[in-house]
A and B are shown apart, each in its own frame.
Chain A
């Protein structure tokens, strides 16, 4: 009997690893927008993966670079081939922690996330503001808008197109997260 209870205890310990309050989506939306007097460049990706741990306030994103869609096919080709080099660095990821998670204002849902963005093989600390709200249907709604600088990620911009690409690119994220069932 003693052995059995020890075994049960061990099994429970084993199981706890999976009993997190995890929410996710594989169909989140991310857009980036570069605005200069010469031209505006916009790309959308509808396949953003987002995972949220509601217990600890951890948040992670992953986006396939090749899933970004541009208005001009040639822009998309150059984006993948010359700028982010999607074959070598297929994904951009973000791994962050919601600041002061235990004391966030649930009614406004305002959050600040601090974490590491990895893109084009370069990691950089960023801080993004946004909102995170629990909906009536038991989902989490996430919205955020922040700026990134392509040059921080060693993305080279040749002089000939320097005027076409903004120094700071606006990133918009929208995602509805469902509970992760195991």
Chain B
């Protein structure tokens, strides 16, 4: 009995031996299981902005991103205004990747002659492998300086600090699949100066944004910011934007429709006046062109 059993076991092993000898067998199988590699989620969005606001993507270390953005006038301006094309607001900006997880940027827009600067920190990266982290988390801090002239003659005391606004944003995002990404953005905007004492200096906003790829190089993006009630004057609305990302090698073209005129955080979050239903919709675009200005030394593990 025992011998029969042993023979049976041995025959059981035969096919393994035969496969190993088989001409069609793979030599690579001899090396056994591969060790899992740690893999970071990449390219959840085509660029570092969804439309107006930041996405969870960063510029890589050493990459300079030159951004030109336009928002035209309102579509309901009609043919006389060529549906808004007669007016344009612009922002020109430069973003730079100090490291893969720390970006800085500066910009200037004609809306209130504003200069802005930001720091963006990705402190948690979505990854899988030995360690699994399902989401990415980032902090974006932005400062805007309104540089409009003081009226002549001045109507009151004008302090430099009155020109400043700050936005602090937490981004929690996930690339769910090759084509679908989603993020939530709890945000705090602080305006140093507001028109009347009963208007809040601090405004809490909750944002959501996402993208769905249609083809490899074309995606649909949408972004919505909900201002928590009773913080802004009724004439200010929530910002809603939808658009396309078109990628062509080193450029990303973003074409969109939005009810916001401003392109700096405090402007589109707290100073949006357009109502989608009334046709107060601005056509706009962002063009992003990246340059690799510094090549970090490659790491090999």
Instruction: List the interface of chain A (C-beta within 8 A of B).
Output: 3, 6-7, 10-11, 13-18, 20, 22, 24, 26, 46, 49, 51-53, 58-60, 62, 64, 66-67, 69, 71-74, 77-78, 80-82, 87-88, 93, 95, 158, 160-161, 164, 180
- Those of B34-75 within 8 Å (CB) of chain A: 37, 39, 42-43, 60-63
Query: A3 touching B249 by the CB < 8 A rule?
Result: no
Which residues of A lie under 8 Å from residue B133 when comparing CB positions?
A: none
Are the C-beta atoms of B7 and A10 separated by less than 8 Å? Answer: yes
Binding stretch for chain A, among B15-23, B156-164, B204-212: B15-23
Of the listed residues A6, A53, A73, A161, the one surrounded by the most CB atoms of chain B closer than 10 A to its CB is A73
Q: When the two chains form their complex, are residues B17 and A14 in contact, meaning their CB atoms are under 8 A apart?
A: yes
List residues of B whose CB falls within 8 A of some A CB: 3, 6-7, 10-11, 13-14, 16-21, 26-28, 30-31, 37, 39, 42-43, 60-63, 178, 216-217, 247-250, 290, 292, 295, 298, 300
For this complex, 19 residue pairs linking A to B, each with C-beta atoms less than 8 Å apart, are: A10-B11, A15-B17, A16-B17, A17-B21, A51-B27, A51-B31, A60-B27, A66-B37, A69-B298, A71-B292, A72-B292, A74-B63, A74-B292, A77-B42, A78-B247, A80-B42, A80-B43, A82-B216, A158-B248
**Apart from A74-B60, A160-B248: 18 A-B pairs, beta carbons within 8 A:** A3-B3, A10-B10, A16-B21, A17-B16, A17-B17, A17-B18, A46-B300, A51-B30, A51-B31, A62-B28, A72-B63, A74-B63, A78-B249, A80-B43, A81-B178, A82-B216, A161-B248, A180-B30
What residues on A are CB-neighbors of B31 within 8 Å? 24, 26, 49, 51, 180
Could you tell me the distance between the alpha carbons of A87 and B40 in the complex, rounded to whole angstroms? 12
* A164 B249 Cβ-Cβ under 8 A: yes
Chain B nearest CB from A163 CB (Å) reads 11
Instruction: Evaluate contact between B14 and A13: CB separation under 8 angstroms.
Output: yes
Q: A22-B30, A49-B28, A53-B27 are in contact. Are A161 and B292 (CB under 8 A)?
A: no
Top 9 nearest A-B pairs (CB, nearest first) are A17-B17, A73-B60, A17-B20, A51-B27, A10-B10, A72-B292, A60-B27, A82-B216, A14-B13
> A81-B216, A82-B216 in contact; A66/B28 too (CB < 8 A)?
no
B11, B17, B295 — which one has the most chain A CB atoms within 10 A of its CB?
B17
Which residues on A sit within 8 Å (CB–CB) of B43? 77, 80-81
A-B contact count (CB 8 A): 95
Name the prevailing secondary structure of the A interface residues: mixed
Residues of B within 8 A of A6 (CB): 7
Q: Which residue of chain A has the shortest Cβ distance to B290 in the bound complex?
A: A74
The answer to whether B30 touches A14, judged by C-beta atoms less than 8 angstroms apart, is no
Which residue in A14, A69, A77, A87 is a CB contact (below 8 Å) of B14?
A14
Q: Is the CB of B295 within 8 A of A71?
A: yes
B14 with A160: CB separation less than 8 A? no
Of all chain B residues, the one with the shortest Cβ separation from A182 is B30
**Cα(A80)–Cα(B11), bound, Å:** 45
Q: How far is the CB of A176 from chain B (nearest CB, A)?
A: 16
Task: Give the residues in chain A near B61, CB-CB below 8 Å.
Answer: 73
Distance A71 CA – B31 CA, assembled complex (angstroms)? 31
Give A88 to B179 CA distance when docked, in angstroms.
Answer: 12
CB distance from A99 to the nearest CB of B (A): 16
Residues on the B chain within 8 Å of A10, using CB: 7, 10-11, 14
Chain A residue at minimal CB-CB distance from B2: A3
**Chain B residues in 8 Å Cβ range of A93:** 28
